[in-house]
Amino acid sequence: MKTALLDHGYVKLVEWWGGDERIVEAARMSTAKGFQGWGPIHDKACNSVVMACDCYSDDCTKCSHYPALPNYAELIACNCTPTSGDEKLLAYLWHNHHATPFEMAGMTIEVQAPIFVFREWHRHRTQSYNELSARYTPLPDLNYVPTVERLMINAGGTNKQAGTVAGAETLSEDWANVFRQKLQREYDMCEGLYQDALSAGVPKELARLIVPVGRYSRMRASANLRNWLAFLTLRMAPNAQWEIRQYASAVGEMIAAKFPRAWELFAAAK
């Protein structure tokens, strides 16, 4: 599972462990009951099923209309809330902030992002990180150039955290294009000096001094589910910087795929 981001970035799922069931099992250690099972996919009041047929079976596979419904797979994926099963306990844990069972699942991802994104990401000290080191290997010549649309997002000054300096003019699309061109020239100049320094025998750990924070780096990040969701709470928020929000959204999609019931609770609370 891999998602391309920005102009050269990505998030890739490396591995994941546990699952919604493991969260329930951890919570039930005190009673030694373990995971009992999820409830029915839908209840009798599900309008999607009633619209398709008039039966009210608790088990759709026993419905006399079942073999004749070509879209049956879609019908059982309806949006009603199950009324029984361990999803009730999972919801109780989430809504009452019993967070430790959510530490029994997690995932490791690989990320390629501009260095300034990593500087924000690494503030989340509950994750484990290992990043590509320019002390040991030259960084790839990949640099982030924001689009004109990205540069113009806050041209009206709606986000104070992304505001301009006092007395600055309102950014125009023409100047946004000028900035992009000049930024690329500076990237090219920095890369030229970087490569010249490496060729001249400057140690890699010092040649990297010219590398800007717009340069792409790579890392692996690992955390349990509780701390991934805490990361997303901050980094998917509207006042987070746009670039890291893109990465957070991609992480959220991976969590939704691997821990769908926990994700549903998280998303409903946002």
> Which amino acid belongs to residue 101?
P
Strands of the 106-114 sheet, one edge to the other: 2-5, 9-17, 106-114, 216-224, 128-131
Supply the DSSP symbol for 209.
G
CB atoms within 10 A of CB 48: 15
Summarize the confidence of residues 206-225 as an average pLDDT: 96
CA 173 to chain centre: 30
The pLDDT value given to residue 159? 58
pLDDT reading at 254 higher than 50 = yes
Give the pLDDT band of residue 34 (cuts 50, 70, 90).
confident
Among 52-66, 71-85, 187-201, name the most confident range: 187-201
CATH topology classification for 1-31+83-144+214-270: Gyrase A; domain 2 (3.30.1360)
The pLDDT value given to residue 58? 45
Contact present, 18 and 104 (Cβ < 8 Å): yes
Residues acting as catalytic residues:
235
Which two three-digit tokens encode residue 194? 């970087």
The pLDDT value given to residue 41? 47
How high does pLDDT run on average in the chain? 85
Q: Mind listing the pLDDT tens digit for each residue in 123-132? A: 999 999 999 9
The pLDDT value given to residue 204? 94
pTM higher than 0.85: no
Give the pLDDT band of residue 104 (cuts 50, 70, 90).
very high
Which two three-digit tokens encode residue 250? 């991609």
Which two three-digit tokens encode residue 137? 């290997």
Summarize the confidence of residues 14-18 as an average pLDDT: 97
The pLDDT value given to residue 160? 58
Q: Where are the domains of the chain?
A: 1-31+83-144+214-270, 146-156+170-213
